[in-house]
Structure 1
Amino acid sequence: MDITKVLVADAVDASCVDLLKKFSIQVDCKYKLPKEQLIAEIPNYNALIVRSDTKVTADVIAAGKNLKVIGRAGAGVDNIDVKAATAKNILVLNTPGGNAISACELTCSLITTLARNVVPGAASLKAGRWDRKLYSGHELYGKTLAILGLGRIGKEVALRMQAWGMRTIGYDPIVSAEDAKKFNVESLTLEQIWPQADYITVHTPLIPATRNLICSAVFNKCKKGVRIINVARGGIINEADLLAALNSGQCGGAALDVFEQEPPVDKITWELIKHDKVVATPHLGASTTEAQIRVAVEIAEQIVALTKKSKEYSVGGVVNRDVYDKLKL
């Protein structure tokens, strides 16, 4: 694939630009362009690299007369119109494994934080109170952790929380029961999972099948006091239903790193964020130095691999496989 000019529209680690330039690919970094300006610029480039800020909509793609590749330095492509790209035979890439460890570690941190009331306890002490009895928690040892999505992140979470003595159960329509058993996760149906889980953590993409996956009907099937963690995508948990479950006590606590709107503007979202049973962080799952370097390098490596200028790299993050096969890359 002939790729000579790349537009980097969101801030990525410099290692991405350095690697592309090493293989004589021209790179222009123009961050946070207004949509109209992006549409005006995109015809000049063969490839576009984004993170989360830039929305690659159908009209942006339509303007990309010379566009061959759209790459996201991160996992998932929620901000890219894959259908529109596919219709124009534009390859869409992401870096699905680049932030797995960082997202996993944040998930594990949030589970332990919920168990021991770390956030409200710390806030109370900073406010000059000594509320030891009020913020008594519980052990994770012997508790059941349900992991929805047993890919890279889900697997890593399972391995780490097993070290805390948690029983791990999970669901993934792609990962077989035999493969899940290899990392000590008992594969169950969702209906089997709901009444058994003390904690539920989600690690799935946001697709029609997972939107509002956890809702009032699910909370009613769970143990009273079940705790929920979401470091995946906003929208997988119905925020209004979660708020109601927290207020009724059916949900004992939630740790949320992602929201239906980012930055949040909805009243219900802000009620959740401010709720005394909620630990909320501003989408920090991939926000580590290591993850940002990793995804930057991985997206650059894939673009270089497409040019055939190096046999050292491969294309492992293809989203629209039909286009890849059609182009016989």
Structure 2
Amino acid sequence: MSSYKKLPSIDAARRRLLFHIGSVAAAGAAGALPGVTFAQSHEQATLASGSAGYTWALPFVAESAGYWKARNVDLKVLDFPTGRDSMQALLAGSANFSTTTDTPLVFAVLQGLKPGILANFSRYSYDMKIVAREGSGIAADKPASLKGKKIGTPAGTSGQYALAKYLEFAKLSAGDITQVNLAPTDLIGALVRGDIDAFSWTAQAGNAALRQSGGKAFFLTQDGYEKFFRSHQLLLVNQNTLDTRQALVNDAIGALLDAEKRIAQDPAWPDLIATRIRSTPAEVKQATSVFEFKVGFDDSFVDDLVNQAKWAIDAKLAPAPAGDLRALFRAAIKDAPLSAAAPDRVKLA
């Protein structure tokens, strides 16, 4: 049986987060960070990043290429271990924006919190991997060999949702494995020591596991997995920023659109962010080859949010809200700024 326990409330996690970032939180309340004053020529803004990994390649290009600065915005970026943690900083009022994947967003909305989705800027099906260790009894080409194994992943993240969909892909259920809630920084050590048999996390973590295990780790097959899983990378905004900093919100959209164009037109764009994410340009280019970089909203995105919500509710990981799920998630999408900047990028019913 699965040993996974229901996630703690985001409110509780937020209190823990505030203990560690109280000095940052003191800069503003409910998203009201310092903006333009008579003594300042630039706007001040804070973005909480879901990690320092290539998952956030597009906003990192916007940062490194100077697209915020070109709009007279001094952007402070705070790196967090996961998108769940960065979103909590946003909700706690320590940032104007945050980057996260769709899974933490789904849990937050189901718990009645109100992060706004300002942009859906990239997506993938293959970057989240199942990585196993030699001697675990798991076969790379046999997804069903996960049955009876201990698998680590950070709870409340795309890693957890990817694992659930991989089990579906393997024709297994959550009760067929033991899920172990581990922080991203603990996954590789736990695998190498043999504390777990496999983990569900990024290809970047998987490659690190291969190196640190001396080649005694491997990726499981994903042939056909795209029919089961897709992850969206999002820029979130809090309501206070949306209500009181409209020029800043428009600048954020413009910076992302400029970064998307740079990625599409400049083959050397990985050079801009390789140092930022402690990697090489070649590794960045190879890893992000499975990403689609395009800022936009469409109905398939809402479909994916609703399907994740149904999974979370059915698995008793989140409460079922009153009302229609589709209407709930459609209301979380703040598409007016993108519609104004690029009307063709918003195709929502």
TM-score, length basis structure 2: 0.32
- Between Structure 1 and Structure 2, the one with more helix by share is 2
Structure with the larger RCO, 1 or 2 (CA within 8 Å, 6+ apart):
2
